[in-house]
Amino acid sequence: MAYNRTRRSDWVTNPDTCAIELALAAISGKWKLRIYDVLRKDETVRYCLINNKLADISEKTLTAQLREMEQDGIITRIVYPEVPPRVEYQLTALGQSLQTVFDALTNWGIASIENKKTETGSTLL
């Protein structure tokens, strides 16, 4: 099921756009929270490290997701004028503020898993 992405510019120009829609657009998708998980552990992270940690992601998809996260103000992209080029990513203050949301989603996921185990265990007894 595809999710229609609400752009930050839409939210700024149309204040009736729901804040939840903006938040979901910023973190939705298969990869964004996984990318966030890699970035939150270090101050700066190189592109190749993100790519290596997320083995199943294509370079095209990773680049697109990183660009969207940059446009949404969650990360910053730092390009060093070297040969070969070195690119690093880091969380912005806004991106760091997602930690509480990330923790809440993690806790909810753990509780959901435990609930499923309990339900499955009770039906097997």
- HSE at residue 110, side-chain half, CA atoms within 13 A, is 6
Residue 22 lies in a domain: no
Residue 18 lies in a domain: no
Residue 114 lies in a domain: yes
Q: Is the pLDDT of residue 6 over 60?
A: no
Residue 9 lies in a domain: no
Express each pLDDT in 41-53 by its tens digit. Answer: 988 999 999 999 9
Domain that holds residue 39: 31-124
CATH value at residue 76? 1.10.10.10
**Looking at this protein, which amino acid is placed at residue 70?**
E
Residue 116 lies in a domain: yes
Per-residue model confidence (pLDDT) at position 56: 92
Q: Please indicate, yes or no, whether the overall pTM of this predicted structure exceeds 0.75.
A: yes
Residue 3 lies in a domain: no
Based on the structure, what is the number of domains in the chain?
Answer: 1
